[in-house]
Structure 1
Amino acid sequence: MVASFFISQPRFSPATGVGSRSLCLFSSSVTVSTWKDQTWELRHLDAEGVRSLAREVGVPPLIARLLVARGHTDARATERHLQASPMGLHDPNLLPGMEAATERLARARRDGETVLVHGDYDVDGVTGTALLMRILKLLEIDAVWHIPNRLVHGYSFGDHSIERAKETNSKVVVSVDNGTSAHGVIGELLECGIDTIVTDHHEAPSGPLPEATAIVNPKLPDSTYPWRELCGGAVAFKLAWGLARKIRGKRQVSPEMKAFLEEAMAYVSIATVCDVVPLLDENRVFARFGLKALEHSANPGLRALLRIANLNGRRLTAEDVGFQIGPRINASGRLGSAEKALQLLLADDDATARRLAVDLDVLNKKRREIEREVLVAAREEAGEFADASEHPVLVLAHEGWHQGVVGIVAARLTEEFGRPAIVIGLDGDRGRGSARTVGDFHILEAMSAAAPHLERYGGHAQAAGLEIRTDKVDQARQAVVSKAKEMLQAGGHPESTLVIDADLAFEEMTVETMRHLDLLAPFGAGNEKPLFRSHEVYLAQPPRAVGADRNHLMLHLRRGDHVLKAMAFGMGSRERELSLGTPLNVVYTPRWNTFRGETNLEIEVVDFESLK
């Protein structure tokens, strides 16, 4: 079903090829062990399949190889993927609960009822809340908002939700990015004469669903929606689209609503990238066109965010959103209340937006300082559980660790120790924690073994959260570790493997090649940045340690006359492995870098080996 509010896009234009003399496109899998026992493995792909896709789609062999490596083998489906046309967005009315949800909101409009938009404190929830608040205002529906305080209320619905609904005399509550499991509170709201519309993307619990007027969630058991991996902000966008249709009484929305929905894709792109959903199907459309909408946004809050992050006036990437925009929006909610972040996105004037953007920037710097302190302490505590065979999952807890950063710290620890990590911030007799994992290890399954010792928990295979009593931490740790050993059986996690897409002569990594690679952008989950290996590359000048802690390396690499600037993040300690005149094998991903208005091709080194 096509998106009727968009203008159709031109067909993908085939690119010309890059020189193939230097590409190892069809090599057998070869492994090399390097830094941190990380194994290099060159992808093995079907040569004829790559050639066939290149011919049928009209792309260079290198691009065809990367597409096949990411699961794209059918020519027509691959063309649709590359086009990522908004015309390919699925009909919002295919989502379960959409008709009931839009009908109830249309009635609220007719009857002059107040609607409470109940969001969440992360990027996904904040952007989705802002999106719904804006469209309800455009449709002249009286609306107020509520986002739980992470440190006071915790996640999703609670008594605070009922209090806020009563306080604002709301007759309808619309959730964003939460609510599918909120049986108790939604039932209490109904007893108070308040209807609830849930918009969410989390897995549904087993058994009956809450007594909501509608649950709009692509992951419901009976859902037939064509794409289940939407983020919460995208589900909110679908509700906005469906409501605009309902109010007009036609499949095609009004010109005013069409303009709003196109601009609102900026919100959805931020949510899609930061919630790390696969950038495939309509998520690719949201990310690609949403980034363009963000670049040209007239929204004062979004413009202020771009300015404070030094991103205004340049072409944006998913990486810009993930590392610059998202953390600033998240900072407010991580340290307690997401109020400032939402106020920024709802700001109607530049002065207010600039002030709030500065506030968020200050909060983000504070968040980084707190994160650094907790990470140092968590590393030290992890030393008590150094034996990975005995402790295949790190379960760390400490009084005073800020609960707003435990998820980030858990992610850092998984990278450093190569094991899943659960990090819990204790506050007196209770604590809240977050879990992250490595590879395909299902962290929620491991955590479920500790259910008798937990007050509350939930999440999915890659990340989860919990609430626990302080005196239950040791028992929970034992239960998780025991379950992890059972799941792993062999007694350890598979060694880290760095999968290389292709061998490429260094002199072939050119601006022209990079422009071809842009066909595959934006990159992210499910559409990973390409990794190349170049052999016998040399330093063009001595390496330079950079960064506040001098833990990054700035390099200039050459082969013959071809020189590229390179950054090796987190590799400051490896400076001694590098010397002028010594050849290197380098694994890297290319990128554009814009500085002072000038854009140049650079590479980001992921690993290297010295051929001394």
Structure 2
Amino acid sequence: MLWIEEQVDGEKTDQLSRSLSISGLLAKILVGRGIETPDDAKNFLEPKLAHLSDPFDLPGLEEASLRIALALELGEAILLVGDYDVDGITSTVIVEQTLLKLGANTSHVIPRRKDEGYGLTSEVLERGLGMGNFKLVIALDCGTNSCLEADELNDLGIDLIIVDHHQAKGELPKAIMLNPHLHPDTGEPWRNMSTAGLAFKLVHGLLKHLRDKKAERAFEIDPKESLSLSAMGTIADLVPLIKENRILARFGLKHLGKHPSPGLRALLDESGVNTDFPPESEDVTFKLAPRINACGRLDDAEVASSLMLKTDMAECRKLAKQMNAYNEERKEIEARLTEEALIQGEQRFSDHPAVVACGSGDAWNPGVVGIVAGKMSHSLGKACIVLAEAEDGSLRGSGRGVQGVNLVDALSSCKELLTHWGGHPVAVGLSLEKENLEAFTEAFLKSIEALTDEKAAIPTLKISATIEQDELRPELLRELSALAPYGQENPEPILALNGVRLAQKPRKVGTGNHFQFSVHNGSVSVSGIAWKMADRIPPADRNLDLAFRLKWNIWNGQRHLQMELQDWKESS
């Protein structure tokens, strides 16, 4: 693997360090991320909720707020339709919680993946509309490409609001649309929000409008109560954690740690998240989100939405345990599917720039293909699509990409072979008929080849900065923590140590796939962990270069400095 350390303008780094009284290391990382002026750096390191723009800056948000306000005034029943992933579920709950507090007659429905499909389908609408006499439907994290369904609602005299961030593929539905990607990109701070972020903006705008109208209940509701859910949807949906996404994620994580709802409290406890310290983005990505997603993957997404809406702690704990059980079941299915899909990837696609794995049977559950595709793309370093045969004989799947490859563009060139497709540049969903598999595979591989930069084929590791051994101290991590929360376009820094010797011989831990090591900083030994690297244990009697992330290891209520090894090599 080729290590590449970011090269930055030394004068800009020194100026930023002096202006903000921060270390040269932190200044270098900021400049390397394009944050070069003192004002920009201060706003990044010390974001404030007051930095959020006026919600009515978003096209469509004022019209949506007015229509919801009218429904409240007239006592119209409102149906919410959300997607079955974390972003869809959290955005649905954000809107429903606010509407219920405002006295609305509201219900929600989340599609059953197997028989109702993804998003705003006729099947899920049939079930949802059967729950009441609705005059307004709000689609969350879906609907941008649901023209036929919008027409069905229009024929029934039902208005439709779509709150979504997916790319449009053609003609737009007849609806009030709140989707930043339908408008030219001029660098707005809300441009790349997830639907959970857009839902936060929507309820903020709605409350602002109602307060202007002197509606008493609107003054009793604090939009900050939606921050935790907004942060969870934002982090889980892999949108860039910059600009307003960063603000929502930063304050939402704080709110999650200090003021969780009963449902989120139960989920935090069941997930083993220690809230003695503020939760991190990794807690959402690896602990909370998988349990929420497992419900949708196993066709019971409303367990997750119910948990977030309920206030009885005993009920919440029961639901959290059910979510944990679903997650354990999901992991078993996922492990079998991953093993079989990786064999296909290595045997059939080793010489290709992408993978299209396909299968059927118990392990090939359409609900877990997305997470398997993500693992494969990370493991193989290339775009991967995983398809599973559905009950009707069609193929349904998900794709996950790598940096520099836009999967939406790749699928667009194959769209005539697909019955459904959509998503984001790094994550897509699709379905096709089985007889089109061979033609689609060929077309997709050609498309990826055309989109892939030749340089992307060389595995690289981006080093944020090289430090000295005596800098390996808690004070360094405390300063770097100002860069958090980490995610897309704001990755956790990878640091390097050159020419060091390990304090002692590494030892395998856990199942034997990992190893622990330590490095002396001049005063004490700092421990390190290498996940799934036991097949590459470094020698203790030679000088080494180490690439690692610096993290807190929380144990028994105490935090200790720990290196998380990414790669190592013998010093030249």
TM bin (shorter chain): over 0.9
Partner of 1:270: 232
Partner of 1:443: 407
Partner of 1:609: 569
Residue 245 of structure 1 and its aligned partner are, at CA, apart by 1.7
Residue 257 of structure 1 and its aligned partner are, at CA, apart by 4.5
Residue 554 of structure 1 and its aligned partner are, at CA, apart by 2.0
Partner of 2:560: 600
Question: Match of 1:279, SS?
Answer: coil
For the 8 Å contact 2:473–2:521, the answer to whether it is kept is no
Farther-moved stretch of structure 1 (243-252 vs 410-419): 243-252
Output the CA distance in 1 between the equivalents of 2:214 and 2:183.
Answer: 27
Partner of 1:360: 323
**Residue identity matched to 2:550:** P
Structure 2 stretches lacking a partner, 5+ long = none
**Residue identity matched to 1:581:** D
Partner of 2:155: 191
Output the CA distance in 2 between the equivalents of 1:409 and 1:278.
Answer: 22
For the 8 Å contact 1:501–1:531, the answer to whether it is kept is yes
Residue 323 of structure 1 and its aligned partner are, at CA, apart by 1.0
For the 8 Å contact 2:94–2:229, the answer to whether it is kept is yes
Residue 471 of structure 1 and its aligned partner are, at CA, apart by 1.8
Output the CA distance in 2 between the equivalents of 1:498 and 1:439.
Answer: 12
Question: Residue 555 of structure 1: which of 517, 520, 540 is its match?
Answer: 517
1:163-195 deviations in whole A, cap 9, x for unaligned? Answer: 112442111111111111111101110110111
Partner of 1:453: 417
Output the CA distance in 1 between the equivalents of 2:304 and 2:506.
Answer: 40
Output the CA distance in 2 between the equivalents of 1:107 and 1:447.
Answer: 40
Are 2:72 and 1:109 aligned?
yes
For the 8 Å contact 1:535–1:585, the answer to whether it is kept is yes
Residue 525 of structure 1 and its aligned partner are, at CA, apart by 1.3
Question: Residue 294 of structure 1: which of 235, 249, 256 is its match?
Answer: 256
Residue 326 of structure 1 and its aligned partner are, at CA, apart by 1.1
**RMSD over equivalenced CA pairs, Å:** 2.0
Number of matched residues?
566
Residue 232 of structure 1 and its aligned partner are, at CA, apart by 0.5
Are 2:548 and 1:588 aligned?
yes
Residue 350 of structure 1 and its aligned partner are, at CA, apart by 0.6
For the 8 Å contact 1:128–1:236, the answer to whether it is kept is yes
Residue 258 of structure 1 and its aligned partner are, at CA, apart by 5.0
Change (3 A) 1:251 1:591: farther
For the 8 Å contact 2:387–2:395, the answer to whether it is kept is yes
Question: Match of 1:152, SS?
Answer: helix
Partner of 1:29: none
Question: Match of 2:167, SS?
Answer: coil
Question: Residue 347 of structure 2: which of 384, 401, 425 is its match?
Answer: 384
Output the CA distance in 1 between the equivalents of 2:256 and 2:553.
Answer: 19
Partner of 2:532: 570
Output the CA distance in 1 between the equivalents of 2:220 and 2:15.
Answer: 43
Change (3 A) 1:353 1:409: same
TM-score, normalised to structure 2's length? Answer: 0.95
Question: Match of 2:114, SS?
Answer: coil
**Residue identity matched to 1:504:** I
Question: Residue 475 of structure 1: which of 439, 464, 472 is its match?
Answer: 439
For the 8 Å contact 1:329–1:341, the answer to whether it is kept is yes
> Identity of aligned pairs, percent?
34
Change (3 A) 1:448 1:590: same
**Residue identity matched to 2:10:** A
Output the CA distance in 1 between the equivalents of 2:349 and 2:65.
Answer: 54
Output the CA distance in 2 between the equivalents of 1:257 and 1:94.
Answer: 24
Are 2:359 and 1:398 aligned?
yes
Partner of 2:539: 579
For the 8 Å contact 2:404–2:452, the answer to whether it is kept is no
Residue 427 of structure 1 and its aligned partner are, at CA, apart by 2.7
**Residue identity matched to 2:136:** V
For the 8 Å contact 2:228–2:260, the answer to whether it is kept is no
Residue 542 of structure 1 and its aligned partner are, at CA, apart by 3.0
Residue 222 of structure 1 and its aligned partner are, at CA, apart by 5.7
**Residue identity matched to 1:155:** Y
Partner of 1:432: 396
Change (3 A) 1:383 1:351: same
Structure 1 stretches lacking a partner, 5+ long = 1-37
Output the CA distance in 1 between the equivalents of 2:450 and 2:55.
Answer: 42
Farther-moved stretch of structure 1 (239-248 vs 550-559): 550-559
Residue 538 of structure 1 and its aligned partner are, at CA, apart by 2.6
Partner of 1:6: none
Are 2:480 and 1:517 aligned?
yes
1:558-587 deviations in whole A, cap 9, x for unaligned? Answer: 354431111111212113xx2333332100
Question: Match of 1:574, SS?
Answer: coil
Output the CA distance in 2 between the equivalents of 1:176 and 1:221.
Answer: 18
**Residue identity matched to 2:146:** A
For the 8 Å contact 2:469–2:522, the answer to whether it is kept is no
1:252-306 deviations in whole A, cap 9, x for unaligned? Answer: 99785553x1121011111111111111111111011111110112410010111
For the 8 Å contact 1:181–1:210, the answer to whether it is kept is yes
Are 2:462 and 1:533 aligned?
no
Partner of 1:31: none
Question: Match of 1:202, SS?
Answer: coil
Question: Match of 1:573, SS?
Answer: coil
Residue 425 of structure 1 and its aligned partner are, at CA, apart by 0.7
Output the CA distance in 2 between the equivalents of 1:79 and 1:253.
Answer: 37
Question: Match of 2:442, SS?
Answer: helix
TM-score, normalised to structure 1's length? Answer: 0.89
Residue 226 of structure 1 and its aligned partner are, at CA, apart by 4.3
Partner of 1:122: 85
Residue 610 of structure 1 and its aligned partner are, at CA, apart by 3.2
Change (3 A) 1:223 1:447: closer
For the 8 Å contact 1:304–1:354, the answer to whether it is kept is yes
